[in-house]
Structure 1
């Protein structure tokens, strides 16, 4: 039996200096397994992906002053986390904000167990990073976004399995 596919909205959140906000997380049962990822999460009830993106951003970062842009990328991914297998259909929205202070008081119980912090990254810092980042081509995708602007239609990324 295949797992239900979870609909997810993620944000490529840029500040006025074109830095991207990433969260640092780890596997609760294996803290040595860590990675950086974009804010966002699963849809609740009948909410739209746009609404989910803004809600998740507020919960995970405290940032609410956001200009939500178009969907940049879409990807399917499959991974194990916190004792279960996740199958996700992720949409990545462009978003901009001048609000760079972070407030993690809205984190869920799982986020408090698995997120160690958030950080604003320049494109150059992300390109030079030796840490795991999801999606795996994020540095290249961000560089293209900053150089060329948003794509006319969402780019479908290769599926990822971890």
Structure 2
């Protein structure tokens, strides 16, 4: 099975809102081969390129998915693994989640790929309280459980193993 190293980013603005993507990708299925029938919210981020360090990949993904380059990248706080079937091929995703901060809430899709344009429905800055109370489907599914300490500035010494 192919391994996909992934940098995911918990990008916060000055108001401590979290940026999430609302999407649905019919070419991605769970390990069981079933595609979700409803849309979902995910953190920004993506595959780390060969030879690229995780933090470099996180910075690149932020620039590509938001258009922002003046972002403070914080520590890696979470790690999770799971299998997805992407365009018919099973892949083991190894996801490292970084905290990052921006003073600018403006988002640009100028650097999006054609695939991102096809599957991303919207980008939204979520107020923590609204996100914690929402019944929206969010990945990682344990995000709501592990988010409050981060909002208080309490980061684990090493990435916490989470359920994606």
Question: TM-score under structure 1 normalisation?
Answer: 0.89
The answer to whether structure 1 residue 53 and structure 2 residue 33 are counterparts is: no
Q: Alpha-carbon deviation of 1:81? A: 4.2
Match of 1:119 among 117, 124, 132: 124
Offset of 1:32 from its aligned partner? 4.4
Residue 25 of structure 1: aligned partner = 23
Deviations 1:88-147 (A, max 9, x none): 000000101101101011111211111111000011111111111010011221112113
Number of aligned positions between the proteins:
157
Query: Does 1:39 pair with 2:44?
Result: yes
Cα distance in 2 for partners of 1:111, 1:138 equals: 22
CA positional deviation for 1:84: 3.8
Q: Could you tell me which residue of structure 1 aligns to residue 161 of structure 2?
A: 156
2: distance between equivalents of 1:31 and 1:87?
18
Distance in 2 separating the partners of 1:34 and 1:23: 10
Is the Cα–Cα contact under 8 Å of residues 63 and 100 in structure 1 kept in the other structure? no
Corresponding position of 2:76: 71
Q: Does the aligned pair in 2 maintain the 1:15–1:96 contact within 8 Å? A: yes
Unaligned runs of 5+ in 2: 28-34
**TM-score in terms of structure 2 length:** 0.88
Whole-angstrom distance in 1 between the partners of 2:57 and 2:133 = 31
Q: Verify the 8 A CA contact 1:72 1:153 in the aligned structure 2.
A: yes
User: What is the aligned-residue RMSD (CA, Å)?
Assistant: 1.7
CA contact (8 A) 1:68 1:93 kept: yes
Distance 1:84 1:124 in 2: 37
1:39-60 deviations in whole A, cap 9, x for unaligned? 1111112011111111111111
CA contact under 8 A between 2:20 and 2:42: conserved in structure 1?
Answer: yes
